[in-house]
């Protein structure tokens, strides 16, 4: 049948019509009783936050709960909504695609899938890349990278990973990640396949050196890790700027040094850019920021404009020994809605100049926060670039003791004031919960100047308040945090 002979797009060939009433739809999407909420919470296998989110400003940074309370969102919902909530162009692409196809089997391409492969192949340093898309997100894309490294280096099944890294919640990527007690209780699954090296966290240098004079001595630690590996190393997986681990960019020159090391030892360098790509760091990717092309680049989060998606980009010669038709197969992996959304999302980022906007706004915000640091002792460090901002709270600047409890109180107080923030991952040291002391400021890149002003005012108020919490109250805050995390 020729395209002309098809039914008009938007109609089905049989007369299937919508039976669900408007009232039913509203009941599903807009209305809920206290009783329904309480029973659903009991039935949920995972803990759920108290706030029930309902809708967001189209293309904006403000989200509303089911009772209409507004929040400026400095989390972009897991650093994902770079183009804001429900961007009209993303919605238009999804709606149009929905009327054509919502699902096809993995091996079938659709037009948006083919266009997205072509688009991603040439967007990043080191291009052209070969592309593998998924719909489960970053963890699955990281696993695809590990698989491709093993295919291209037969017999090698060891991966170097950094301390405080986070790469996903599948069993392999959990082990690749730092053991974060609130996130995983399966730290040893497949441990034999990973060797950890210290991440270059300059504020807390693993070698206790000064950034200006260290000569990147921490690269030697990577070399030692390579030599200590008890098998053949296939790849080195790293976030070029750590997110969950505390908003920590690698220092200048580090990734270039890492690339050289990897080349010397025939190891594939894999950048996990789930958090850093698509304008978050003021340019399209951290690879671009540092001008270092990895062998493989992993994407997710902000790629889909709010729809689930993940992607592995691999140096084109690695594709010569690529996947079979089954190795990356998943039922929903050819996801027409996600791929259409991603095409619209990339177009919006470019058209609205969101990389530049993120860079300029990030410079303004970090300058203001550094001024505030002069007045508030518990601000130990302010880190950027772009709208990838972390503010590390400490008990005092000398000892750098993480102000874990003050950070928890900060997040709660800010929420009451109408701003959502989140914090870095925790650690348990000698049975005590620590770290989780970096406040993240990572809103949609479309956040308005007025909203950002309100964010800064709220930040200033809250940090001044929590700086005054007496030591005697901190224990109560910790107990509550441990109880909420099922760790008490």
Ligand X SMILES: Cc1ncc(COP(=O)(O)O)c(C=O)c1O
Please say whether the beta carbons of 118 and 342 come within 8 A: no
Q: Which is nearer to ligand X, 239 or 392 (CB)?
A: 239
Whose CA is closest to 458, among 470, 436, 441? 441
DSSP letters for 442-479:
---TT--HHHHHHHHHHHHHHHHHHHT--HHHHHHHHH
DSSP helix/strand/coil, 58: coil
Closest CA to 87 of 346, 333, 367: 346
Nearest to 284 by CA among 196, 345, 216, 333: 345
How far, in Å, CA of 241 to CA of 251, rounded?
Answer: 9
Closest contact distance (angstroms) between CB of 2 and ligand X is 41
- Alpha-carbon span 237 to 443, nearest angstrom: 26
Nearer to ligand X, 71 or 166 (CB): 166
Closest to ligand X by CB, 80 vs 334, is 80
Shortest Å, Cβ 30 to ligand X:
28
Minimum separation from the CB atom of position 6 to ligand X (A): 36
Q: Specify the residue, 120 or 244, whose C-beta has the smaller distance to ligand X.
A: 244
- 109 vs 470: CA distance, rounded Å: 60
- CB of 308: closest distance to ligand X in angstroms? 8
Please identify, using beta-carbon distances, which residue of 53 and 469 lies nearer to ligand X.
53
**292 closest CA partner among 249, 247, 257:** 257
Closer by beta carbon to ligand X, 298 or else 378:
298
Q: From CA 146, how far away is CA 269, in angstroms rounded?
A: 11
CB-nearer residue toward ligand X: 78 or 104: 78
CB of 309 vs ligand X, minimal distance in Å: 9
Counting every residue, how long is the chain?
A: 488
Q: How far is the CB of 34 from ligand X (least distance, A)?
A: 31
Closest distance of CB 181 from ligand X, Å: 16
Provide the minimum distance between the beta carbon of 362 and ligand X in the complex, in angstroms, as a whole number.
Answer: 18
CA 443 → CA 246, 352, 353, 436, 466, distances in Å?
Answer: 16, 16, 16, 19, 22
Nearer to ligand X, 143 or 352 (CB): 143
Looking at residue 425, what DSSP letter applies? P
Contact assessment for residue 447 and residue 434, using Cβ atoms and an 8 Å cutoff: no
Nearest to 273 by CA among 265, 285, 259: 285
Contact residues for ligand X (CB under 6 A)?
78, 137-139, 142, 166-168, 239, 243-244, 272, 274-275, 300
Residue 260, CB-side half-sphere exposure with 13 Å CA sphere:
7
The CB-of-26 to ligand X minimum distance in angstroms stands at 31
Q: Give 247 or 437: the residue with its C-beta nearer to ligand X.
A: 247
Q: Nearest distance from residue 344's CB to ligand X, in Å?
A: 20
Q: Helix or strand or coil: residue 72?
A: strand
> Which residues is 419 bridged to in the sheet?
72
For ligand X, give the closer residue by CB, 272 or 288. Answer: 272
> Based on CB atoms, which residue is closest to ligand X, 175 or 373?
175
What residues are paired with 394 via a beta bridge? 402
Q: How far is the CB of 251 from ligand X (least distance, A)?
A: 18
H/E run at residue 249? strand 248-249
Residue 243 CB, nearest distance to ligand X (Å)? 5
- Cβ-contact 248, 242 below 8 angstroms: yes
- Number of helices followed by number of strands (H, E) in the chain: 15, 19
> By C-beta, is 250 or 373 nearer to ligand X?
250
CB crowding 371-381: b at 16 or more within 10 Å, else e? ebbeeeebbbb
């Amino acid at each position: 049948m020729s395209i002309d002979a098809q039914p008009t797009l938007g109609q089905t060939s049989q007369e299937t019509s919508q039976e669900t009433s408007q009232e039913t739809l509203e009941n599903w999407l807009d209305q809920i009783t206290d009783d329904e909420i309480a029973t659903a919470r009991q039935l949920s296998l995972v803990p759920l936050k108290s706030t029930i989110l309902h809708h967001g400003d189209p293309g904006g940074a403000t989200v509303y709960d089911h009772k209409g309370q507004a929040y400026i969102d400095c989390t972009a919902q897991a650093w994902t909504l770079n183009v804001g909530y429900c961007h009209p162009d993303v919605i238009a692409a999804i709606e149009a695609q929905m009327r054509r196809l919502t699902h096809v089997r993995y091996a079938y391409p659709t037009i948006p899938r083919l266009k997205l492969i072509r688009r991603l192949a040439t967007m990043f340093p080191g291009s052209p890349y070969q592309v593998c898309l998924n719909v489960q997100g970053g963890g699955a894309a990281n696993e695809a990278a590990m698989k491709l490294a093993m295919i291209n280096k037969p017999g090698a099944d060891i991966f170097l990973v950094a301390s405080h890294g986070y790469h996903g919640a599948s069993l392999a990527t959990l082990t690749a990640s730092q053991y974060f007690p609130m996130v995983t209780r399966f730290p040893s699954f497949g441990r034999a396949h990973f060797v950890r090296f210290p991440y270059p966290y300059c504020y807390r240098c693993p070698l206790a050196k000064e950034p200006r004079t260290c000569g990147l001595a921490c690269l030697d630690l990577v070399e030692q890790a390579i030599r200590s590996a008890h098998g053949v190393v296939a790849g080195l997986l790293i976030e070029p700027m750590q997110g969950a681990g505390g908003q920590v960019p690698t220092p200048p020159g580090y990734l270039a040094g890492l690339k050289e090391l990897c080349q010397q030892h025939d190891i594939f360098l894999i950048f996990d850019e789930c958090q850093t790509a698509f304008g978050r760091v003021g340019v399209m990717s951290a690879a671009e920021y540092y001008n270092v092309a990895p062998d493989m680049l992993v994407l997710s989060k902000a790629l889909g404009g709010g729809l689930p998606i993940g992607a592995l980009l691999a140096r084109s010669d690695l594709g010569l020994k690529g996947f079979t038709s089954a190795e990356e197969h998943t039922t929903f992996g050819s996801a027409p809605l996600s791929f259409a959304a991603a095409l619209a999302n990339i177009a919006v980022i470019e058209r609205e100049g969101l990389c530049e906007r993120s860079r300029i706004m990030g410079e303004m915000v970090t300058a203001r926060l550094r001024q505030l640091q002069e007045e508030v002792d518990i601000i130990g460090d302010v880190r950027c670039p772009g709208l990838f901002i972390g503010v590390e709270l400490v008990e005092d600047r000398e000892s750098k003791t993480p102000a874990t409890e003050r950070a928890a109180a900060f997040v709660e107080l800010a929420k009451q004031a109408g701003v959502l923030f989140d914090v870095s991952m925790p650690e348990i040291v000698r049975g005590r919960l620590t770290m989780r002391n970096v406040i993240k400021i990572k809103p949609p890149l479309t956040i308005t100047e007025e909203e950002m002003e309100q964010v800064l005012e709220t930040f200033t108020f809250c940090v001044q308040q929590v700086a005054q919490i007496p030591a005697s109250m901190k224990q109560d805050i910790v107990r509550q945090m441990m109880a909420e995390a099922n760790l008490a």
